[in-house]
Amino acid sequence: MAKTYNNRTDVPDHEKWDLTDLYKDESAWQEDVKQSYELADKLQTFNGKIDDSTSLLQYLKTQEELSLIVRKVFAYAMFRQDIDTRDSKAQKLNGQTAQLSVKISESTAFFMPFLLSLDKKTLEQYIQEEAELAYFEDSLWKSFREKEHVLSKEQEQLLSQLHETFQAPSNTYNMFNNADISFGDVTDEDGNQVQLTRGMYSKLIEDEDRSKRQEAYKAYYKPYVEMNNTIATNYASEVKTNAALAKVRNYSSALGEALFSDDIPVEVYDNLLQSAKDNSKPLHDYAKLRKERLGVDELRQYDLNVPIVQGVKAEIPYDEAYDTMLKALKPLGEDYVAQLELFRDKRYIDVRETKAKRSGAYNMGVYGVHPFVLLNHHDDLNSLFTLVHEMGHALHSHYSSKEQPQITANYKIFVAEVASTVNEVLLIQYLLKNTEDERMRAYLLNHFIEQFRGTFFTQVMFADFEKQTHERAESGEPLDAESLNELYEGLFRTYFGEELVFDDEVKYGWSRIPHFYRAFYVYQYATGFVSAIDIAMRILDGDKETLDNYLTFLASGSKKDPLELLNETGVDLTTSAPVENAMKMFKETVEELRAMDV
C-alpha cells in the first residue's frame, strides 16, 4: 500500500527539502531582498552613463551579481509556497519577489536599447580595451543580433510598463483554470453525486469501467464547453498580442520571434510538423489495436487513457524506485550514478504529496547552491517514471552548473527535455530487459507507446494549432470560438486518424491547454523526445563516443546554440532522420504489442 501523509510534519526529514541550503532563516532571505533592491538602484545609475569599456564592465558585473542573488531569492519564496500553498507567510514572500521583479525590469530596461545603439566597431573596441569583457563577449554579441528588433529607449520603457497588460490573457486564463473552474458531477463509490476534481479525473479516465470514464470525461469538459466563447476571446487576445508585438519588433512572424533567440530556423519547426504527419500511420494502427483490445464497438477519446493491458498494478516504494533508477541509469557512468545517490542523501528532493502542496513535479537549478526537485510520489510505476524524468533535469542542471560559469550555466528550453527523456528511455529498456512476466512486459510496451503519443504526437498537434492560429491572426482572419473549434477538431482527425469516433467535446480540447499562453513552447517536447531516443539507443548499443558526447552535452549549459549542442551528440534536427528513427521504434513497439497474446 502506497504511503500517504495527512501533514507535512509526518513526512520523514530525509524525504523533505532542506531549505537551509538556501537561507538559514527568513531574516537572511530579507537581507538578500534588501541587497537586491540596492543593486537594482545601482544598475539604474548607469542609465545614460555607460560611455566606455570600464563603465560597461561595471554594469555587467553588477547585473550578474544581482542575478546570482535574485535566483536564490526567487527560489526560496517559490519553494516555501509550493510545499504549502495555504501558507500566508510564503504568499507574502512571493508578493515581495513580484515587486522586486518589476523593480529590476524597470532598472534594466534602458540597457538593451543602449547596447544596440552602439555601432559594431565601438563594441569591438570596448571588448579589446577591457580584458574582463571577454567573459561577457558571447552574450553581448548574441544580444547584438537583436539590433533590428529592439526599439528606442523610450519605446522599450513603455513596453516594459505595459508588460502586465500583455500578460492579461495568460493571467485571466490561469485564474479561470486554477481558481474559478468548477467541473461537473460524477458518481462516487457510494452512488452519490460529487463534483469532479482534477485529481479524481486523472484516475477515473484510466478506470476499467467505461461508464465511469465517459462520465468523468463529460464532467471534465463541461466548464470548457460552457465558457467556450469567453475562452476563445481570451485566447484570440493572446495570439493577436503575440502577432502585434512581433510586427512592432520587426520579426517576420510571431513564430519567427519565438525561435530567434535560440537561432532555430523556422524550417526545423515545419519539418517536425510534416515528419509527424508523414509518419502517423503507426499511430492510426495503434488506435485500431486499442479498439480491439478494449473490445469496444467505437473508440472514443475517453478510451485513450485506460491501459489496454488491464489488471497489472505495480506497487513500487520510493526507496525501491530510487534503487531501480540507479540500476537503469548505470549506462551513463559511475559519476552520474554517484551524483544521483548524493541527491537522495543530501535532501535535494521533496518526495511526498501532502495537503496543499503544489501538484505535479519539477526541477529547479539554483546556481551556486544545487538543484531542487519537487515530487508528489505515489509508489507506483508512473511515479517511478516521473522520478527518473525529473532527475534527468536535475543532473543536467548539476553538470552545467558545475562546469559552466554563471553566464552560460542555464541550458535552453529547447534542449531541456533531452536529458529527462534519455533517462526515461533507459528506464523503459531496463524494465523490459528485466521483466519476465508477459503481462507486465505488455503493460510496459503500452506505457512506452502512450509516452510517444503524449510527448510526441499530441505536442506536435498542439504546435500545429499554435502555428495556424498565429498565421490567421497575422493575415487578419477571425479567431472566434467556431473557427478555433473547427481547426482543432480537424487537426485531431489528421494526427490520430479515422478510427476514433468523435464526441462533441473533442473540438473544445484546445481550450484546456495552459501551454498555449506560452507561445511556441510545446514543440520542444517533441524535438527533445526524438533527440533523446536517438541518443539513448546509441548509448545502449555501447557507442562510447555517443556517451562521451552526451556527458559533454550535459555539462555545456548554453555554451553553444541548441542545434549545435545536439549536432555534437549526433542528432541533426534540420533533417527528418531523428523523427524517422523514433517513428521506426514506435512502429516496432506497436507491432510487438500486437503480436503478444495478453
Please list the active-site residues. Answer: 390
Distance separating alpha carbons of residues 56 and 353, to the nearest angstrom: 48
Contact in structure between 131 and 67 (CB atoms under 8 Å): no
Nearest-CA neighbor of 399 among 343, 339, 326, 350?
Answer: 339
Contact in structure between 271 and 408 (CB atoms under 8 Å): no
Distance separating alpha carbons of residues 66 and 49, to the nearest angstrom: 19
Nine-digit cell string for 354: 501532502
Cα dihedral 431, 432, 435, 437, rounded to 10, equals: 130
CA 333 to chain centre: 26
Contacts of 364 (CB under 8 A, 6+ apart): 75, 78, 79, 371, 372, 374, 397
Contact in structure between 241 and 139 (CB atoms under 8 Å): no
Distance separating alpha carbons of residues 165 and 172, to the nearest angstrom: 11
Distance separating alpha carbons of residues 366 and 314, to the nearest angstrom: 34
First to last CA, the chain: 26
Helix (H) or strand (E) holding 51: none
Amino acid at 483: S
Distance separating alpha carbons of residues 111 and 43, to the nearest angstrom: 9
Give, as one character, the DSSP assignment of residue 411: P
Query: What is the three-class DSSP state of 351?
Result: strand
Backbone CA torsion sign across 329, 334, 335, 338: positive
**What is the DSSP track for 522-541?**
THHHHHHHHHHHHHHHHHHT
Nine-digit cell string for 583: 517513428
Contact in structure between 68 and 368 (CB atoms under 8 Å): yes
Distance separating alpha carbons of residues 44 and 66, to the nearest angstrom: 12
Helix (H) or strand (E) holding 352: strand 349-352
CA 297 to chain centre: 37
Contact in structure between 389 and 396 (CB atoms under 8 Å): no
Please list the helix, strand and coil fractions of the chain in percent, rounded to the nearest 5, in that order: 70, 5, 25
Distance separating alpha carbons of residues 467 and 259, to the nearest angstrom: 12
